[in-house]
Chains A and B, each alone.
Chain A
Amino acid sequence: MNAPPLEAVASVVNLTVRYGRFTALHDFSVQIPNGCVGLLGPNGAGKTTLLKTLLGFVKPSSGTATILGKSVLKEGAAVRQKVGLMPEQDCHLPGMSAIEFVAYAGELAGMPQAQALRRAHEVLEYSGLGEARYRKVETFSTGMKQRIKLAQALVHGPKLLLLDEPTNGLDPRGREEMLKLIRDISLHKDVNVIVSSHILRDIEKTCESVLVVVKGQLKMQGSIKDLTRIQGHPIDVELKDPSPSWQEAVSRRGISIVHTERNKVRVHQEAPTEVTTKLIFEAARESGAEIRGLNVATKSLEEAFLEVIH
């Protein structure tokens, strides 16, 4: 098997996973890069199966997968020691306080008892549960349960964190805080993150790149920037007031008007962005229009996602 490139946190090669006659993943290959990666796909696309396989829960019919250079199939336990899972469902151990639960999760991961306890205090503080550490987990609110799932996934210092719908059931403030935590973990704590979420805005806010899985195959992979880029690099221009004379002036310069919405105009020209920008400003000077904003036009992640899956 080819060794994954250094920047790949996980590598999947020709992976086929079947449940009876149903093929969940078909000849699936992907190099998952370092950083924060979003896992997108419609229901039944194979995201679940991919995560299950990476954790060694499911044995593939063929193909291989490695995480951080270790074979998922041959060294499942060693892989899981370097991976943290924050599952979608509520999960805790009944009758345990938060500190006991997280420390126990650390011990299960292989930490010595004293280290696990010390570290549990640390991650509970970091996750915002410092003051609730001695409360029984079953008495926690939904938001707190999300946080403790993150804490138990982080306790042993994983190199890869799998987050499954991390903002499920959170109120807007809790959601923002959770996204901020995820962003902080991936950017400043040297932890690679794979976020599986149906909320595309969450992915947009936290991830640098995405994988789109459709019908058991990798449909698209790339940075969010690439995914949301519109072909031909159109430019969105925001004018102070609607200006037909400016539109005429840009048209004379060979720039086509894609669409107009009051004072916002999207223009396009088969030329480098710098050239088009220069012409836009020339037209504004000529027509006396005032430009308030100018951006390279992008699609929303949702639009891009829908385009990819259809």
Chain B
Amino acid sequence: MSSPIADLSYRTYDGPLNPPSARWWVIAKMHTLKAFRNRFYWLFVGLSGWYYLVILTVIFIMQMVSSNATEMVGTSGEAANELVRQIQFIDRFLWKNQYLHGFSYGQLTYLIIALLVGAGAVANDNRSNALLVYLSKPCTKLDYVVGKFFGVWIPIVTAMVVPSLFFFLYGMMSYRGQGFALYAPAFLSLVLAMAMSAALHTSILLGISSLMKQGRIAGIIYGALYMITNIFTVMIWAFWLQPLGQVRSNGATTNAILGAEVVDRNPLLQPAFYGSIDGLNIGLAKALLNVDGGNGFGMPPDPAATVPAPNGFMVFWLMAAICAFWLFVFWRRVRAVEVVG
């Protein structure tokens, strides 16, 4: 049999072997590269930054209009008013709010990316007895668990950070004069929130995946869990808005409502609003960015409708506890394997 390899003689391998430690990195690297080679992954990474694209487009158009208005300000009173409105629009921007909005509006695509990268990470190994390959090599159970964790976490956190990083760099280049640089440290807070959010996705997904033999089933279960908890958040949101609607139907304005403190809500509504995977992610981002959110796309804020940021410390530890629980489930599922059937 002809072969493109000239020397087909098999010899005993006597080359270098790294010491049997830190094998987790080999596993993490393999998973990460596999995700990075998937074109759908990059498609969704691009889609996850849609909010930033929209807001930058809006700002760009506003700036174009205001520059036209500047040229016409001497000739038209209307143009002067327009210019004032544009300047007010930009000035109204709380830049770190844009980080929050970018992160919040990307949640669905982050979920898809997490499913793409993590749903089959352990379930497929279970189906194909891949544990036999891992555990018969100098890999410990800890290497396997840590390697899988980082193999899923790195692609998810990369997907979250990349669009925000583009926004950050673009903002630093283009909107320094509009106060963007003042909020530069907030980008680090955003990255921290993203790291924890990716850890939450990763841990729950790996835990569920370790219980399954089909990646698709694991994905469906996680997707369902995510959506069901999200529906809960939407219901709480409806309860949150309910008194506001009643007061407004009497003709009160937002400022009047706030001033009169007429919005009487159950104190449990605010923490309950963050009682979903999505809610925890956004809640932590709000707490770390120290913003309450509000309307996106440069719309005027509506503080009365905005759910205030939760206690960041509480949210962090709650997320950490959830991560620990699901990683424990994963750990328990990695058992010494059958060698002979």
Cβ of B135 and Cβ of A91 under 8 Å apart?
A: no
Contact of A121 among B5, B27, B124, B133 (CB under 8 A): B5
The distance in angstroms between the C-alpha atoms of A7 and B136, with both chains bound, is 24
Q: Which residues of B contact A (CB under 8 A)?
A: 1, 3, 5, 8, 10-21, 23, 26-27, 30, 34, 120, 124-125, 127-130, 132-140, 336-341
A257-292 interface with B by 8 A CB criterion: none
| Minimum Cβ distance to chain A for residue B13 (Å) | 3
| A52 and chain B: residue at smallest CB distance | B339
Q: Which residues of A contact B (CB under 8 A)?
A: 47-48, 51-52, 55, 57-58, 76-78, 80-81, 83-85, 87-95, 104-105, 107-112, 115, 119, 121-123, 125-126, 130-131, 138, 152-153, 155-157, 162, 164-165, 189-191, 196
Cβ of B133 and Cβ of A105 under 8 Å apart?
A: yes
| B29 and chain A: residue at smallest CB distance | A107
Cβ of B129 and Cβ of A81 under 8 Å apart?
A: no
Cβ of A80 and Cβ of B130 under 8 Å apart?
A: no
Residues on A with beta carbons closer than 8 Å to the beta carbon of B10? 122-123, 125-126, 189
The distance in angstroms between the C-alpha atoms of A126 and B7, with both chains bound, is 11
Residues on A with beta carbons closer than 8 Å to the beta carbon of B336? 52, 57-58
The distance in angstroms between the C-alpha atoms of A191 and B14, with both chains bound, is 12
Residues on A with beta carbons closer than 8 Å to the beta carbon of B124? 94-95
The distance in angstroms between the C-alpha atoms of A58 and B340, with both chains bound, is 13
Contact of A111 among B5, B15, B140 (CB under 8 A): B15
With contact pairs A91-B133, A108-B139 given, residues A78 and B12 touching in the complex (Cβ less than 8 Å)? no
With contact pairs A52-B336, A91-B130, A91-B132 given, residues A111 and B125 touching in the complex (Cβ less than 8 Å)? no
| Minimum Cβ distance to chain A for residue B123 (Å) | 10
Cβ of B138 and Cβ of A48 under 8 Å apart?
A: no
The distance in angstroms between the C-alpha atoms of A157 and B137, with both chains bound, is 12
Please give me the 10 A-B residue pairs with the lowest Cβ-Cβ distance, nearest first.
Answer: A157-B13, A77-B20, A85-B136, A57-B336, A48-B340, A91-B129, A126-B10, A77-B138, A108-B137, A110-B17
| Minimum Cβ distance to chain A for residue B120 (Å) | 7
Cβ of A125 and Cβ of B8 under 8 Å apart?
A: yes
Residues on B with beta carbons closer than 8 Å to the beta carbon of A131? 1
Cβ of B125 and Cβ of A109 under 8 Å apart?
A: no
Cβ of B339 and Cβ of A95 under 8 Å apart?
A: no
10 contacts between A and B (CB under 8 A): A55-B135, A92-B128, A94-B120, A105-B137, A108-B139, A109-B138, A111-B18, A138-B128, A164-B339, A189-B10
With a 10 A CB-CB cut-off, give which of B10, B12, B19, B340 has the most chain A CB atoms.
B340
The distance in angstroms between the C-alpha atoms of A157 and B16, with both chains bound, is 11
Residues on A with beta carbons closer than 8 Å to the beta carbon of B14? 157
Contact of A130 among B5, B13, B20, B125 (CB under 8 A): B5
Cβ of A109 and Cβ of B17 under 8 Å apart?
A: yes
Contact of B132 among A48, A89, A95, A115 (CB under 8 A): A89
| Minimum Cβ distance to chain B for residue A69 (Å) | 16
| Minimum Cβ distance to chain B for residue A101 (Å) | 8
With contact pairs A81-B17, A157-B14 given, residues A108 and B134 touching in the complex (Cβ less than 8 Å)? yes
The distance in angstroms between the C-alpha atoms of A156 and B15, with both chains bound, is 9
| Minimum Cβ distance to chain A for residue B307 (Å) | 42
The distance in angstroms between the C-alpha atoms of A51 and B135, with both chains bound, is 13
With contact pairs A77-B140, A81-B20, A94-B120 given, residues A165 and B340 touching in the complex (Cβ less than 8 Å)? yes
With contact pairs A91-B130, A189-B10 given, residues A112 and B18 touching in the complex (Cβ less than 8 Å)? yes
Residues on B with beta carbons closer than 8 Å to the beta carbon of A85? 132, 136, 339
| Minimum Cβ distance to chain B for residue A242 (Å) | 47
| A157 and chain B: residue at smallest CB distance | B13
| Minimum Cβ distance to chain B for residue A225 (Å) | 26
With contact pairs A52-B339, A57-B135, A122-B10 given, residues A94 and B17 touching in the complex (Cβ less than 8 Å)? no
Cβ of B137 and Cβ of A57 under 8 Å apart?
A: no
With contact pairs A48-B339, A52-B339 given, residues A80 and B129 touching in the complex (Cβ less than 8 Å)? no
